[in-house]
A = this chain, B = another copy of it.
Amino acid sequence: MKPINVGLLGIGTVGGGTFTVLRRNETEITRRAGRAIHISVVADKNLALAKKVVGDSVRITDDAFSVVTDPKIDIVVELIGGDGIAKELVLKAIENGKHVVTANKALLAKHGTEIFAAAQKKGVMVAFEAAVAGGIPIIKAVREGLGANRIQWIAGIINGTTNFILSEMRDKGLPFAEVLKEAQRLGYAEADPTFDIEGIDAAHKITILSALAFGIPMQFDKAHIEGISKLEAVDIRYAEQLGYRIKLLGITRRRDNGIELRVHPTLIPAKRLIANVEGAMNAVLVQGDAVGSTLYYGKGAGAEPTASAVIADLVDVTRMHTADPGNRVPHLAFQPDQLSSVPVLPREEIETAYYLRLRVEDKPGVLADVTRILADQAISIDALLQREPAEGEGETDIIILTHVCIEKQADVAIAKIEALPAVKCSVTRLRLEELNG
């Protein structure tokens, strides 16, 4: 059978890894795909870099648009990133009847619905395993492996930078700013780390997973996002004392009246497998009504792990290439005309439990006032920690773990607590999830 022709856009970390792995495992990959997967051309603005990576073995160009309009190219692999030029190139590739394989989470989270509609109309495939959790085949698991289930929720450690930082903060007891510097030095965080540490990257990925799991359009703009830059080492210590770890989780959950879509530091029980995922590793926990709980763990980033996902998609697309478009795996696991209009819930409607840390004057009645306020909002207390103030100090910390309630109840309670004269400064609030079904 003739080889399938691939145009690679972007020869950076992932592009280089894709090229390398395709070459190294060519025999196994060809055996699995049933035909050779041939990179016909590599496009990158930096021709010198391209030449360095691919040598003389492949034609190189700095004109990416020539690739997406070239009639000899069957599949375009977009590894440029971002939602600028990448969006134009992807849409042009689709317009020209080419399948697309991409690792671009930002592009899909913001423009996925438009891109998939265009692809559906044209009868081409858009595959994106590499966009979420690197080499872990999570997209395939949710879209196909768990296809018999009504997904109830997904919770994931899907950003290696923040997970590395949190592991270090816990292991060494150091403050965030210091660990961030170390992470940058070691290459786990970028010079401008905002996307990662403020949770935006994780939000892109959980947005994609929510669309897949619930058959809704991608609604990144509705996600509630909080990163780790305000997390204090003292809260990691208190959480540990109470039997919890703090992880930056991307969470999406089906509720009666809508879908939750959120990213934030979360206390999770230390005994959960996912609580023991350390360093730059990723893990995604999925709860389905038939299968129950399944967990997927592995490297979430890196040249070869991400390339593993890109090439798995290339093999899939190659296999599907001659199939009737109506019978291909729908990009979003649901046929596009079947997308649900269930709304993404606003922050105030989130249903979760809380860790609250208050700094209070050590005088009688404070605890009674605080617990009364919570009771008035129908918020039950699961655990409470209060310590004797140190000698001479008139202030102490009170730590409260609540049971599940609605965020707007917590908002009201916290505002009232902060208004108490004995409560010094604002209340630290972290969400808590038991993750047990």
Q: A: which residues have CB within 8 A of B?
A: 1, 17, 21-22, 24-25, 28-29, 31-34, 129, 134-137, 140-141, 144-150, 215, 273, 276-277, 288-299, 304-305, 307-312, 314-316, 319-324, 326-330, 333-335, 338
- Give how many copies assemble into the complex: 2
In Å, the complex CA distance between A129 and B147 comes to 12
Given contacts A295-B297, A323-B327, A327-B321, contact A290 B315 (CB under 8 A): no
Contact A291 B316 (CB under 8 A): no
User: What is the chain B residue whose CB lies nearest that of A215?
Assistant: B31
Cβ A25 vs Cβ B136 within 8 A? no
| Bound complex: CA A171 to CA B252 (Å) | 34
A308–B148 contact, CB under 8 A?
Answer: yes
Please name all residues of chain B whose beta carbon is closer than 8 Å to the beta carbon of A309 when the two chains form the complex: 145, 148, 291
Determine whether the beta carbon of A144 is less than 8 Å from that of B290. Answer: no
Question: In the complex, which residue of chain B has the Cβ closest to the Cβ of A32?
Answer: B147
| Chain B residues closer than 8 Å to A304, beta-carbon distance | 289-292
- Beyond A1-B326, A136-B145, A291-B298: 10 further Cβ-contacts under 8 Å? A29-B148, A31-B338, A145-B309, A148-B314, A273-B273, A289-B304, A291-B305, A294-B297, A295-B298, A322-B324
A32 pairs with B333, CB closer than 8 A: yes
Task: Return A268 CB to nearest CB of chain B, in Å.
Answer: 15
Residue picked from A149, A288, A293, A338, most chain B C-beta under 10 Å: A149
- With a CB–CB cut-off of 8 A, which chain B residues contact A308? 146, 148-149, 288, 290-291
Distance of A247 Cα from B21 Cα, bound (Å): 34
Q: Please judge, given known A-B contacts A312-B144, A327-B34, whether A149 and B25 are in contact too, CB under 8 Å.
A: yes
Residues of B near A315 (CB, < 8 A) are: 144, 147-148
User: Does the CB pair B322–A150 fall under 8 Å?
Assistant: no
Q: Are A137 and B144 in contact (CB under 8 A)?
A: yes
Give Cα A294 to B300, complex, Å. 10
- A22 to chain B: which residues have CB within 8 Å? 148
Contact partner of A140 (CB less than 8 A), chosen from B25, B141, B307, is B141
Nearest Cβ in chain B — how far from A280, in angstroms? 11
Question: A145: which of B141, B307, B328 is its contact (CB, 8 Å)?
Answer: B141
Select the residue from A24, A135, A333 with max chain B CB neighbours within 10 A: A135
Chain B residue nearest in CB terms to A282: B294
Q: Chain B nearest CB: distance from A333 CB in Å?
A: 5
Nearest residue in B to A21 (C-beta to C-beta)?
B290
Query: A131 → chain B, closest Cβ, in Å?
Result: 14
**B contact residues around A134 at 8 Å (CB):** 291
Distance of A215 Cα from B315 Cα, bound (Å): 16
